[in-house]
A = this chain, B = another copy of it.
Amino acid sequence: MRSASATIRDVARVAEVSVASVSRALNGHSSVHPDTRARVVAAAKTLGYVPHAGARSLSMARTHAIGVVLPDLHGEFFSEIVRGMDREVSARGYHLLLSNMHADAALAAQAIRSMRGRVDGLIVMAPQLDAEGLDDALPPDLPAVLVNAHDDIGRAGFRVDNAAGIAAVVRHLVDGGRRKLVHVAGPSGNIDAGERREGFLTAMAEHAPGVEPVVIEGDFREASGATAVGLLRARGLAFDGIVAANDMMALGVMAALREADIAVPRAVAVTGFDDVPLARYLGLTTVRVPIADMGARAVARLIGALEDAPLTDDVETIDTDLVVRTTTGS
């Protein structure tokens, strides 16, 4: 029982051929005599030989690994997007190399750079890096696909159709007879939060003309949903529908409404965004975002670029679905 693994040279010695023949035999090259191949395969088996992926990567300039750079994000989004990527990646024989990014831009750039030579391409979700920041963080020879990208980033990427999702929510509420809608917005720096806020205002202008839309600031966290309800009541504003920018805030809203004895959905309808699993259990009407699909499509596009044509710089849009449950019931 050896402790160090066998190398290709060990196999060559045992099979009494050159290392070149071992390599060719094991990689299914056609110009290898059947007898030779048999000897090589037998030697490899007795030695328990497994090729050293790092060495192969170096000489082939191909690692068959994809780097994933994500900010520190909450469980549901993280596991969904990674699951989607993994599904696609393992179907194509690649691996995923994870790197969680720190908030600091310099550290983020460092994390990205440290991937050179480890991966064939990158999938990056970097809310805090703008086009410039990305340009000097990304090694020029490493193809990258952006997730949650700005429209105008000038790079291959994906984005969620936030405006359409919010518009569907607003239309649904207006169809149900609600007019006095309030939007609980996400943090101001966040791209998706910004688009949802704009989308809300646009949709209100279209579907409820004449109504002054109200926007309360939130931060995507559950507590800020409850705070928003407190604020509304303190100001004495009348409202019959609350459109939260994500599901967690919608949960906070629901808890605060229950505490204030305001009936959902009779007095006030509540909606979220994302469709986290919790939403189904609590009957929350929300907008489903196919996160896993986005991960899978990002991977597919990246690997496609690696194996065929280079990446194009356009941003693809991910469609959303309105999921109607009980918090907006008639």
Contact = CB atoms under 8 A, between A and B. Distances in A.
Contacts of A80: 75
Contact of A118 (B54, B76, B78, B251): B54
Given A75-B277, A79-B79, A140 B5 contact: yes
A51 B281 contact: no
Contacts of A98: 82, 86, 95-98
Interface stretch (A55-63, A197-205, A234-242, A322-330): A55-63
A11 to B, nearest CB: 14
Q: Chain A interface residue count: which class?
A: 35 or more
Contacts of A3: 140-141
A55 B52 contact: no
B83 A117 contact: no
Interface string A38-77: 0000000000101111111110000101000000000110
Contact of A55 (B5, B65, B117): B117
A309 interface: no
B116 A52 contact: yes
21 contacts: A1-B140, A3-B140, A4-B141, A5-B116, A52-B116, A54-B54, A54-B57, A55-B58, A65-B97, A75-B76, A75-B79, A75-B277, A78-B83, A79-B82, A82-B82, A82-B98, A86-B98, A95-B98, A96-B99, A97-B97, A281-B281
